[in-house]
Amino acid sequence: MTAHSMTGPAIAAPDVAMILCAGRGTRMGALTDARPKPMLPVAGRPLIDHALARAGEGGARRIVVNLHHLGAQIRAHLAGRADVSFSEEAELLETGGGLVAARPLLGEAPFYALNADAIWTGSAPLAPLAAAWDPARMDALLLMVAREDARAHTRPGDFFVGGDMRPVRRGDRAAAPFIYSGAQIMAPRALDGFRAEAFSANAIWDRALARGRLFAAIHHGGWVDVGTPAGLAEAEAALRAEGAT
């Protein structure tokens, strides 16, 4: 699979994806007391299986999964998959620290990073990322969705996106029109200088933003934030409407 940058020749899409699965899923309440959030079922299969399918759709042939809360269940579910390796976190490292800790497994080429608690509907969500990725200009490329296309998401938006596809943070404004949808392409160099300790990927993005190397791509289908029991129900309804159940 290849991607075409806006400024240069065809560029290979990532063949590695990291799926972020270490979180405690506290907003799910009792549902994650005995089961990690990526193992919660949506449309008859665990959330992590939906993420794995999207990664494969995007061209990923090797998968890294980080584990912490009840991670043994995820490891057992994926047992026998030769394409999957695991990054164990003795302490929860959050999104940024989790990426840094997994770097030795990710290799030195750009990779996808996907949240396990997101459901995309409509056109293949990673296609806009692969098509827009340009390593000469970018350290990270974030897949955004318009607020009106988001379900079960109650926050006021994350970014403005200009015609040059450079995102601008909402800052102190009341709302922003785009939400980070939980998928990105990142160059390993974006992690340089960060330590494997608990911190948000926002710090990585902010540095890339300051360097003019953070960009956005837009998913024009639907998206569900599967962070709460209400989000699970919305995801079921969205996939049922799409005929994916």
Total-model pTM: 0.94
The total of structural domains in the chain comes to 1
3-class DSSP state of 24: coil
Residue 166 tokens read as: 């450079």
Pairing of strands 140-146, 159-161: unpaired
Grouping H, G, I as helix, E, B as strand and the rest as coil, residue 172 is: coil
Domain range spanning residue 86? 2-242
Instruction: Check which CATH number belongs to the domain holding 44 and give it.
Output: 3.90.550.10
Q: Kindly give the parts of the chain with pLDDT less than 70.
A: 1-10, 244-245
SS3 content of the chain, % helix, strand, coil (to 5): 30, 25, 40
Q: Is 73 exposed, middle or buried (0-12, 13-18, 19+ CB in 10 A)?
A: middle
Tens digit of each residue's pLDDT (9 = 90 or more) over 73-87: 999 999 999 999 999
